[in-house]
Amino acid sequence: MGSRLTMAGAAKNFKASTNCSLPELARMTALNQAELLGIADQVGSLEAGKKANLVLLDADLTVAGTVLNGRIIPRGM
């Protein structure tokens, strides 16, 4: 049986458990994962030449929007 924990849920849990800063949380949820997968040269941080894939969060760390390859994805798609 697998887990139903989303990355957004995991980020909320981690932030609540550790009281880490938002930059630390961003690194934990994005760059560390990209490094583990060997794709940190393409994704995982905001840098020139990398794919513009973003998850936009509100103050409660709830997903507020998505940007995929630099394009805003309408909610519900």
Residue 56 phi/psi, 5-degree rounding, is: -95, 130
More confident residue, 42 or 6: 42
Give the mean pLDDT of 20-32. Answer: 89
What is the mean predicted confidence (pLDDT) over 46-70?
89
State the chain's mean pLDDT as an integer.
88
Q: Where are the domains of the chain?
A: 7-73
The DSSP symbol for 75 reads T
CA distance 68 to 77: 12
Question: CA nearest 40: which of 25, 50, 48?
Answer: 50
Contacts of 71 (CB under 8 A, 6+ apart): none
Is residue 55 within 8 A of residue 63, CB to CB? The reply is yes
Q: Mean of the pLDDT values across residues 1-23?
A: 87
